Amino acid sequence: MPSVDNSESSRNGDYVPSRWEAQADCTNLIFQYKTQANPESSVGLMSMGGSGPEVLTTLTTNPGNVLDGLHRTKIRGQSHLHTAIMIASLALKHRQNKSQRQRIIVFTCSPLSDATESQASLVKLAKRMKKNNVNIDIIALGELGDETTSKLQAFNEAVKGGDGSHLEIVHPGPNLLSDIVVASPILAGEGGGPRGGGGDAEGEGAGGAQGGGDYEFGVDPSMDPELALALRMSMEEENARQERERAQQGQAEGKTQLESVPEEGKQGEGESQPLLNQNGEASGSGSAGKDKKDDDDKMDTA
């Protein structure tokens, strides 16, 4: 569930082409990346500016829904990071496919003041999300003062577990935000490096055969035994299918081979005379030639 920052701070043009446009482009990239990496992955969209956070698109595999949500978003008000994460976690909790892993990707380009987002409240929220197995990636841009970055770092330290949950601080520069994010661990794979799998509500096979770690299929059986069992059964069924196809192909090739024809009898016991005589001529060729000569003589006599 990506959560974009549509507060007044997103109007700034210190990022190409602007903070808001950079977020919109990166959100579209995240959708394409996750849905193409695994067909069971689904992505939603919400905003956290204005008078309060709003779910713009529920979990979907239709890119048009996400684009429509971005076009309907207005830049106004201030950011509500704490509330947005709470609402996003509720939206993921009520997902239809319970085998999907929960993940929130937060864009923030606004300052985090103690009046609205204290470090203590953010750390408490992070621990709660970690307990509920919700990975939270933060893409920080724009207002990157010491107070804001220290709060985000404290939140990230409290929420991350294993290879999940990353903090990417992006400073202004000539590069597109999407180019920086696509090379970060957020999209490059939960264990780093270019991998498939992962997702905002990640499919059952996400991180499976392509995913990583030292676990079989890239899934820790102690964390998700049902998913590990399903992947193992799927692999065994595929191996059995391939064995059946090879057996059927072998039988088909065996039937096409010509069987040897047994001899009907021994020579002299009903077997026809040899094809060649002792002189190397065709059998009966002598008599045939003689008959032909006799016929010619009869014709001359006549």
Determine the angle formed by the axes of helices 19-37 and 63-72, rounding to 10 degrees.
170
pLDDT at 192 over 50: no
CA 31-36-38 angle, to 5 degrees, is 105
pLDDT at 175 over 70: yes
Mean pLDDT of the chain: 79
pLDDT at 190 over 50: no
Confidence of residue 204 (pLDDT cuts 50, 70, 90): very low
Q: How many CA atoms lie within 13 A of 207 on its CB side?
A: 28
pLDDT of residue 201: 57
Kindly write down the DSSP assignment for every residue of 161-196, as one continuous string: -TT---EEE----SS-HHHHHHTSHHHH-TTSSS-S
pLDDT digits (tens, 9 = 90+) for 46-69: 999 998 999 999 999 999 999 999
226 or 247: which leads in pLDDT: 247
pLDDT of residue 241: 81
- Strand, helix or coil for residue 271: coil
Confidence of residue 243 (pLDDT cuts 50, 70, 90): confident
pLDDT of residue 205: 37
Q: What is the pTM of this model?
A: 0.64
Q: How many CA atoms lie within 13 A of 26 on its CB side?
A: 34
- Residue 107, token pair as written in the block: 């864009």
> Residue 107 and residue 181: Cα distance in Å, rounded?
11
Percent of the chain with pLDDT over 90: 48
pLDDT of residue 24: 95
> Residue 72 and residue 104: Cα distance in Å, rounded?
21
pLDDT digits (tens, 9 = 90+) for 252-302: 776 655 555 555 544 444 445 555 566 656 655 454 445 545 555 555 544
223 or 241: which leads in pLDDT: 241
pLDDT of residue 83: 95
> Residue 29 and residue 115: Cα distance in Å, rounded?
33
* Burial (CB count <10 Å: 0-12, 13-18, 19+), residue 243: exposed
List the single range of 109-123, 138-152, 178-192 with lowest mean pLDDT.
178-192
